[in-house]
Each structure stands twice: as structure tokens, then as C-alpha cells.
């Protein structure tokens, strides 16, 4: 397996830990924001790509009128299985799909939404082209992206802690992938290359707070509930607990021994076809 082939691999115990630890830690406020944006539009059919364990899907279910059909897709079937297990109030079409080869007809959806997924796409321009293709004229492509890792305090702390633990070959998944696509000019350029009109593009920054009952919960979220785990285990499977302990101690030293609170920041992009 190539060095970074596991960047998009969410399997084993990752989906459950992702849902129970990472979702409440960093994803929920941004999911509500996306759903609120879409609720202001007149929609009948929404597609979600890179749905993960369904945090945005559930926000859409709770916010959008019952008449709106929701299709939620992800590359990783185990993540969709976890999402379906948590469930939704309305019937959602859960479907395994690659964002770069969407299995839907042209002009099918009023909106395409993606939460913190575009940075995982090996060919973002192709994925953006696919989003545009399946949108109806006037449809909205809405997604969010993490800002620089330095603006996301727990992730930055974990990354620096693991650099000390694995100095010869530090796990860099968070900085390289999850928080590595923060150049807004690059994002705008790739969207234009995919066929979107720059005049129809809008973006905004949202800062929020990341909170956990303990530093260890935050460390578990990143080290065991994300593909960072794959990088740690690739170096030494026996050191996963040690790496989690190291990250927890670093968070505790900086944010306290009880409940912890840190800054998170992302930006939201919307572009109309």
C-alpha cells in the first residue's frame, strides 16, 4: 500500500469512534450551519457527498421540510453503515458512491452539500465537475473546509505532540489532509476550472469552540477516530495507545486537566450553477 493510501480509509473501529468522539467535538456546529443555509432555499432534492456518519444528514433531516428528499453518499460503506445505524426521522437514501464518479443523471438535484470532505478528493476539479453536472440550473453547491491547522487548536496540539513521539517520521495526516486545503484562492480557481462562474461564488469564515469532558476524549477523537490512526499504526501498531496518551497529555497541559475548550475555525463556500 502506498504511503498515503490510508488517508481516505475509514474502517474498523474508526466509524464508531468518529461518530461518538469526533462528531460532537468539531463537526456538529458546522453541520447545523450548512443545514440552516439550505433551509432558506426552496428545495425538493438534496445530495450529500462524503456524508461520513451522517452528522449533516441528521441536521438536514431536522431542518428541511419533509417534502425534501435527501440522498447521502460516501466512499466508505462502513461510515454509511454507522450513519444508518444512528438513523434519521425521514427515510434517507444511503448510497455508496465516489464523489469523482457520481452515479446520478445530469441535473438531478437542487443542491449538493459536502461537509469537510473536499480535501479528501484525489482530483478535486473532477469532483467539482461532478457536483456541477448533477445540479439543476440555479442549484447550489455548498461545502465547508477547515482553516489552517494553527486556527484549530486541538488538532494543532495533537500534531505537534506526535511530532515529538515520532521524530523521524511524524504522522502528518491532520496538517497534510484534514487541515491542508485552506487556500481560498486555490479553491476558487479549482471551482472555476470545473465550470462554475466566479461571480456566483461566495465564502465566509466561521469560528467556533471545540469542547470535551476531558483531554483524553479529544485525543481519542483525533488519534483513533480519524485516518490519523492509520498513520500511527503504520509506524507501529503497538504504539496507538501511547500516541493517544501523548496527545491527551499535550492537550491537558495546554487546556487543563478537566473539561477542555479550544478554538476551531473553518470557511464555508457556496457557488450557484
Is the pTM of the predicted complex or chain greater than 0.75?
Answer: yes
pLDDT value of residue 2 = 43
Nearest residue to 57 via CA among 79, 78, 25:
79
pLDDT value of residue 13 = 80
Domains along the chain? 5-272 (3.40.50.150)
Which helix H or strand E contains 128, and what residues bound it? helix 124-134
Q: What residues have CB less than 8 Å from 87, skipping those under 6 apart?
A: none
Burial class (CB in 10 A: 0-12, 13-18, 19+), 68: buried
Q: How far apart are CA 162 and CA 160, in angstroms?
A: 5
Q: What residues have CB less than 8 Å from 1, skipping those under 6 apart?
A: none
pLDDT beneath 50, residues of the chain: 1-2
pLDDT value of residue 11 = 63
pLDDT value of residue 12 = 81
Nearest residue to 247 via CA among 152, 166, 159, 172:
159
pLDDT value of residue 258 = 97
Q: How far is CA 99 from CA 92, 112, 178, 225, in A?
A: 18, 11, 17, 22
pLDDT value of residue 7 = 55
Residue given cell 453503515 in the structure block? 81
Amino acid at each position: 500500500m502506498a504511503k498515503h493510501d490510508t488517508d481516505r480509509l475509514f474502517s474498523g473501529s474508526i466509524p464508531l469512534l468518529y461518530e461518538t468522539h469526533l462528531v460532537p467535538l468539531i463537526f456538529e456546529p458546522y453541520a447545523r450551519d450548512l443545514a440552516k443555509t439550505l433551509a432558506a432555499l426552496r428545495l425538493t432534492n438534496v445530495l450529500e457527498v462524503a456524508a461520513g456518519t451522517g452528522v449533516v444528514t441528521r441536521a438536514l433531516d431536522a431542518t428541511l421540510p419533509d417534502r425534501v428528499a435527501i440522498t447521502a453518499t460516501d466512499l466508505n460503506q462502513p461510515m454509511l453503515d454507522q450513519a444508518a445505524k444512528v438513523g434519521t426521522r425521514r427515510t434517507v437514501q444511503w448510497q455508496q458512491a465516489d464523489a469523482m464518479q457520481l452515479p446520478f443523471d445530469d441535473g438531478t438535484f437542487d443542491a449538493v452539500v459536502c461537509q469537510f470532505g473536499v480535501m479528501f478528493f484525489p482530483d478535486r476539479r473532477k469532483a467539482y465537475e461532478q457536483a456541477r453536472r448533477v445540479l439543476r440550473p440555479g442549484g447550489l453547491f455548498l461545502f465547508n473546509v477547515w482553516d489552517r491547522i494553527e486556527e484549530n487548536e486541538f488538532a494543532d496540539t495533537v500534531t505537534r505532540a506526535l511530532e515529538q513521539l515520532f521524530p523521524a517520521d511524524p504522522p502528518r495526516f491532520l496538517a497534510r489532509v484534514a487541515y491542508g486545503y485552506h487556500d481560498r484562492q486555490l479553491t476558487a480557481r479549482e471551482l472555476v476550472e470545473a465550470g462554475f462562474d466566479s461571480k456566483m461564488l461566495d465564502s465566509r469564515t466561521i469560528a467556533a469552540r471545540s469542547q470535551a469532558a476531558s483531554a483524553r476524549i479529544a485525543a481519542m477523537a483525533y488519534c483513533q477516530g480519524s485516518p490519523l490512526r492509520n498513520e500511527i499504526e503504520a509506524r507501529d501498531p503497538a504504539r496507538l495507545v501511547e500516541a493517544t496518551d501523548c496527545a491527551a497529555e499535550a492537550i491537558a497541559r495546554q487546556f487543563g486537566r478537566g473539561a477542555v475548550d479550544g478554538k476551531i475555525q473553518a470557511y464555508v463556500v457556496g457557488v450557484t450553477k
